[in-house]
């Protein structure tokens, strides 16, 4: 009997040795589909500089609102009614702040990753960026998390643990890493956190801390700064010292931090009011508060750069330009949890200039007179520039 059991154990071990990668892939795919409804395949490398694109679309902060995210993509005819990529060879940049203020954060991460891969198969490109809320969450700052956001991460944690238990059944596999290792116990482990939220906080930390499963899988693909043709993208803004430090260097260092190589806190240029994800010098809605000379100096230090496109600061009157349209501000506060504004996206078509695609039927009536527009610069960009296109989302 003992010999028979030994033979069975040996056979089981041998069979597992032959299929560890297959089993791991199957379990990960099962967990992915259960959590998000999507299947994902291998990763795509990071890139900082891209050549000019025939069609470039920029999407602002989406803050946990999957429906508004999809509406934005449909405005630019990038996805169909089945949520499949139909954007052909278009290049899309989402400038960060997927996390916080809503309950669809993980679903958006999976959805954008699915589109990234669909786009690549059609010759298109989807680029995701870090916002200040991605940086905050990886650091464990959850001030803007919603109850729905905690519930979504609890659901993820449940299925992730199920997947780990499935993997542990095969002796030929290395023990899966427990993402909760080192975290405070479920009860009494967090100060100033209500008891009913403790498990959600633990799940969120486990998923999003440096080298956490969600962080490593999705956020490690985000860039912090990006140059596409003559457009510079950043969530908050760039100063001269950021450029001299090195755009590629920043992207690489932030990715290393996200992957758990650089400690608990983000690099200094991602922290504080003058950091690349927090800066508001060029995004204030009133032009006289924008530091246009500093912006011009920054753009002059990046070869070929004509404009900086940024999110982070909600533009009450929609996407607009300041500093002679060298600063393009695209955060329209579209998320239900952060303004519930009507989606708008920026489109740049080769050398034909910029236009705004909007779902707002009253768009042309936003500025009835210069007096009502106040001292805001960017009115010319909105009213007299290339024609704005109203699209039903």
Q: CA 303, CA 298: separation in Å to the nearest integer?
A: 10
Cβ-contact 60, 25 below 8 angstroms:
no
**What are the residue ranges of helices labelled H in 37-123?**
66-75, 105-121
Kind plus residue range of the DSSP H or E element containing 128: strand 125-128
- The one catalytic residue in 133, 235, 242, 312 is 133
CB 140 within 8 A of CB 187: no
Q: Strand 327-329 to strand 354-358: parallel, antiparallel, or no bridges (unpaired)? A: unpaired
Residue 242 annotated among the catalytic residues of the structure: no
105-121 helix and 147-168 helix, angle to the nearest 10 degrees: 70
H-run or E-run covering 345: strand 344-348
d(CA 69, CA 337): 13
Q: Extract the tokens encoding 23.
A: 């089993």
Q: Are 309 and 296 in contact (CB under 8 A)?
A: no
For residue 286 the two structure tokens come to: 């009133």
Q: C-alpha 163: how far from its chain's center?
A: 25
Residues 225, 250: contact at Cβ < 8 Å?
Answer: yes
Query: If DSSP codes are grouped into helix, strand and coil, which group holds residue 322?
Result: strand
For the chain, the C-alpha Rg in angstroms (whole number) is 23
Distance CA 56, CA 70 (A): 17
Backbone angles phi, psi at 59, to 5 degrees: -120, 135
Chain CA centroid to CA 297, Å: 28
3-class SS of residue 57: strand
> What 3-state DSSP class applies to 389?
strand
- The answer for residues whose C-beta is within 8 angstroms of residue 109's C-beta and 6 or more apart is 98, 214, 218
Q: Is 307 helix (H, G, I), strand (E, B) or coil?
A: strand
Q: Which residues are catalytic?
A: 133
């Amino acid at each position: 009997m003992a010999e028979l059991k030994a033979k069975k154990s040996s056979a089981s071990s041998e069979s597992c040795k032959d299929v560890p990668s297959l089993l791991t892939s199957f379990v990960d795919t099962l967990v992915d589909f259960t959590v998000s409804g999507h299947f994902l395949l291998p990763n795509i490398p990071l890139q900082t500089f891209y050549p000019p694109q025939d069609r470039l679309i920029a999407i602002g902060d989406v803050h946990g609102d999957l429906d508004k995210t999809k509406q934005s993509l449909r405005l630019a005819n990038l996805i169909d009614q089945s949520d499949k990529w139909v954007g052909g060879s278009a290049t899309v940049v989402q400038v960060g702040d997927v996390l916080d203020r809503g309950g669809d954060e993980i679903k958006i991460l999976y959805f954008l990753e699915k589109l990234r891969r669909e786009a690549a198969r059609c010759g298109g490109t989807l680029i995701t960026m870090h916002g200040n809320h991605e940086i905050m969450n990886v650091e464990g700052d959850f001030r803007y998390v919603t109850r729905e956001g905690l519930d979504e991460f609890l659901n993820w944690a449940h299925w992730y643990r199920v997947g780990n238990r499935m993997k542990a059944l095969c002796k030929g596999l290395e023990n899966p890493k427990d993402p909760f290792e080192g975290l405070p116990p479920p009860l009494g482990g967090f100060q100033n956190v209500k008891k009913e939220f403790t498990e959600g906080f633990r799940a969120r930390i486990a998923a999003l801390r440096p080298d956490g499963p969600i962080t490593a899988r999705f956020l490690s693909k985000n860039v912090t700064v990006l140059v596409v043709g003559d457009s510079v993208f950043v969530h908050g803004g760039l100063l001269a010292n950021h450029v001299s430090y090195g755009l590629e260097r920043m992207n690489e260092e932030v990715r290393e931090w996200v992957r758990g190589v650089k400690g608990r806190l983000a690099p200094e240029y991602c922290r504080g009011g003058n950091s690349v994800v927090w800066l508001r010098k060029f995004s204030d809605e009133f032009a006289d508060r924008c530091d246009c000379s500093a912006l011009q100096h920054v753009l002059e230090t990046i070869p070929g750069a004509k404009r900086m496109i940024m999110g982070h600061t909600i533009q009450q009157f929609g996407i607009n330009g300041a500093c002679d349209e060298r600063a393009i501000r695209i955060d329209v506060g579209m998320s239900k949890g952060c303004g519930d504004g009507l989606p708008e996206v920026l489109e740049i078509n080769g050398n034909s200039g910029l236009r705004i695609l909007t779902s707002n039927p009253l768009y042309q009536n936003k500025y009835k007179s210069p007096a009502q527009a106040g001292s805001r610069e960017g009115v010319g960009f909105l009213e007299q520039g290339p024609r704005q296109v109203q699209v039903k989302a």
